[in-house]
Structure 1
Amino acid sequence: MWGLISYLNSPELVGAFQRCCGLVPRETCSRVSQNGLVHANGSGKNGPVTIHRRGAEQVANGTSRAQDSNSNYKPASSPCETKGEEHPRPRYKVRNWLFYFLFVTSAALGHEVFYITFLPCIHWNLDPFLCRRLVNMWAVVMYIGQAMKDILKLPRPSSPPVVKLETRVDAEYGMPSTHAMAATAISFTLLLSAQERVKFPFELGLIVAVVLSALVCLSRLYTGMHSALDVICGVVISAIIIALSYPYWGTIDYLQLHNPLSPIVGVVLPLFLSYKYPELDHYSTTRGDTTIILACCSGCSVGYWVNERLGLTFDLAGPFPVTLPPLTLVALGLGVARFLVGLGMLVLTRQTVRWASLRVLCRISGASVSDVDARRRKEIEVPYKFSTYVSIGLVNSILVNRVFVMMGLWDLGNSV
């Protein structure tokens, strides 16, 4: 069993998959920090294993032996270092552009741009009920996955032999793959929830869910950001969460919409979890990204509760499951118009609230807005990101559809 686990966690397996798909390193090189060390998690910080590039010495647990006592020590040069680059990246060659575009596009399905477009689009063009379910499950699986990463602190695949295509999340740990978790959770939550609301061939929906989840999972191997073990664990964890929570989805819906304490819990609990997120000895994007996700869920949760109080939820009209009308050019045009108007409102909200909250918090803390290190401090990062994305959730769930009605982009006959 341990041999199988070691094999699935091997960077050589990831490298072999990349080469099989036509992504090969142009030359052997590694991410190098100023002191000439290659760090296991690619963060430039001391990780579980540190390898000294000058000789065969390996230093475990980030010990200070990596610092050469000779003040004139210079790290060994790398064949792929370029002048002026502090963190050179591996150069690679693409021999199969079909796989490259397929997997890079699939990897984008786990980024903020996808979530801030796909989830609201479900709300604006299909059914807010489905969006609510998706946002709830997205927040749960992502918090569990992100927290597990920073508790387990298992490194990402090493480079070489792996070619890494992403840089922003390179400082994060690897186990489990939150891309795999989110893709699995969103695909199958949508499948299971949609069958309650809309008539469609379940077998076709199942195939689409499996294919989309598999593409996102394989993209994490192709981009070199996760081992096969990271991906498998991510899928399994999401499957367990869905299986355990599925019987209670209806109860959660009812409490979220009708319980008078719902808006309080919807704000206090995510904010508490954001502040209590596991601490690291170096900065990582995981806390900020998790705060964004929890804040979106918080804002949407409060917004759905407010809509229920106001008596206009914009949900599909029953009895369920309903038969969706055919997709005509007029319906497609209205859908595109709603998407563009809604996205514009969300982007405007993001930029406005982010600008204002950052300046208020930096003034309170006596820091400069342009000071990147100050903006990464918990007392600034958590509240400014939380307030920004709570606002986005509120605008998405309360205001956008009402603007559609004012602009003639929404037919109230389709809602209850």
Structure 2
Amino acid sequence: MSLRQRLAALLLCLRDPQKVASFQRLCGVEEPRLAGADATAPEERGGRNPDRAAVPEGGGGKLRRRGVRNGVRNGEPAPAGGRESQATLPNRAQGLRRNSLTGEEGEAFGVRNWLLFYLFSFGTELGNEFFYITFFPFWIWNLDALVGRRLVILWVLVMYLGQCAKDVIRWPRPASPPVVKLEVFYNSEYSMPSTHAMSGTAIPLTLVLLTYGRWQYPLMYGLVVATCWCSLVCLSRIYLGMHSILDIIAGFLYAIFILTVFYPYVELIDNFNQIYKYSPLIIISLHLALGIFSFTLDTWSTSRGDTAQILGSGAGIACGSHIAYRIGIMSDPSLDTLPLTIPSITVTRFGKVMLRILIGMVFLLLMRIVMKKITITLACKMFGMKSDDIRKARQCMEIELTYRYVTYGMVGLSITFLVPCLFFFIGLS
């Protein structure tokens, strides 16, 4: 066998959904089986989700799984005596996070090891919106705004290039069966590469690169935390049945490659964002153009909205840092004070941190809710679409790009400008 054939065989092995299913079983995941149920795999739907085929239900636009689920096959009860499950009732759980845009819900599954279930559920959240919208502000408001800004710059690059690669390569998610899908929120996206793995690699590694030498701490501590972080996120995506081993390895290597190329320029980009007079105009135009380009790569999926969301957040944070720098609200420590020492935790300092997080997150949440409501309504009127069917409207390219970009642009602007202004006026700077 030639080297090329061996490499092809290795890639096929790493992409095999049976490997994912084996890892799930090793970690205690079981799919409830119905006696007498047909074990054949559902038909593929457009090459994107080989494990699911959606059919209308009722007329309300909802989607349901075709085949057997919870004792029902295609709307009819399963054969009598057919509820024999490998997982006992107390060990059954429902799939994580229903997707409001597609109507998909996770299938029921069994869990034999709840510790691993909660550990990997936490790991996958390290690559989701809730984590980003709390972690980045925490760094910018409480720890080191410079590190926070530059971390966001590289995160935007990594996530944008990863999302675009998915829609160019167009590999489907691992097939189910044999894989048990514990999460369906991102099931409408393609699989290669794993952007969770990219984010889980880029964020901790970038933090080590940006903070070591700037802050006083042992390098080994940073490397151990980064390794554990990356491993937890990557393994969680296999555990949840969302990616093959090859997807994870490709995401990891792709993130390393992007950081290698762009990290040397992150200081230049950050200084440009803050200092150059016309940088907000260039930032907004560039991020919007990248969003339009990514929306033309493929048909609708949650990947498109996430891309616009990432670009909008990055543009808002960059523009906010420019305004804050111009008016002198946020200033970085002098180079003479480096390296910085980790301050001791006092009651007063801890109280201020908690107040910043509480007040700031409430502000961001209100901004997100208000802007989302306003922009979807205005975009529907602007592009002549009825706003009574929000799900359909949010899948329209013009509306989705507009409301995601503007809404999260304002959230980003709030993180680096509006909320720091609020802190300044109430004495929490």
Give the structure-2-normalised TM-score.
Answer: 0.83
Contact 2:106–2:183 (8 Å) recurs in 1 = no
2: distance between equivalents of 1:351 and 1:52?
32
2: distance between equivalents of 1:334 and 1:76?
52
1: distance between equivalents of 2:299 and 2:8?
30
Residues 63-96 of structure 1: per-residue CA shift (max 9 Å, x gap) = xxxxxxxxxxxx9953755277697854311000
SS in 2 for 1:47: coil
Amino acid at match of 1:134: L
Paired position in structure 2 for 1:126 = 143
Paired position in structure 1 for 2:180 = 163
Q: Report the number of matched residues.
A: 381
The Cα of 1:324 is off from its aligned counterpart by 2.4
Paired position in structure 2 for 1:20 = 26
Gaps of 5+ in 1: 40-44, 54-74, 411-416
1:4 equivalent in alignment to 2:10: yes
The Cα of 1:280 is off from its aligned counterpart by 6.0
Paired position in structure 1 for 2:345 = 327
Out of 87, 99, 103, the residue aligned to residue 116 of structure 2 is: 99
1:268 equivalent in alignment to 2:296: no
Moved more, 13-22 or 309-318: 309-318
Contact 1:31–1:87 (8 Å) recurs in 2 = no
Cα distance, 1:125–1:393 mapped onto 2, change above 3 Å: same
Give the structure-1-normalised TM-score.
Answer: 0.86
Paired position in structure 2 for 1:349 = 367
SS in 1 for 2:30: strand
2: distance between equivalents of 1:126 and 1:30?
56
Out of 249, 255, 265, the residue aligned to residue 232 of structure 1 is: 249
Cα distance, 1:124–1:167 mapped onto 2, change above 3 Å: same
Cα distance, 1:123–1:209 mapped onto 2, change above 3 Å: same
Matches within 5 A, 1:16-415: 16-27=22-33, 37-39=42-44, 45-47=45-47, 78=68, 82=72, 90-279=107-296, 282-318=299-335, 319-371=337-389, 372-410=391-429
SS in 1 for 2:212: helix
2: distance between equivalents of 1:49 and 1:165?
14
2: distance between equivalents of 1:84 and 1:51?
15
2: distance between equivalents of 1:124 and 1:230?
35
1: distance between equivalents of 2:298 and 2:11?
28
Contact 1:263–1:305 (8 Å) recurs in 2 = yes
2: distance between equivalents of 1:373 and 1:49?
20
SS in 2 for 1:198: coil
2: distance between equivalents of 1:189 and 1:379?
34
Amino acid at match of 2:366: L
1: distance between equivalents of 2:105 and 2:311?
34
Residues 270-296 of structure 1: per-residue CA shift (max 9 Å, x gap) = 101111115466421001001000000
1: distance between equivalents of 2:211 and 2:111?
39
1: distance between equivalents of 2:38 and 2:223?
41
Paired position in structure 1 for 2:78 = none
SS in 1 for 2:329: coil
Gaps of 5+ in 2: 1-6, 54-64, 76-102
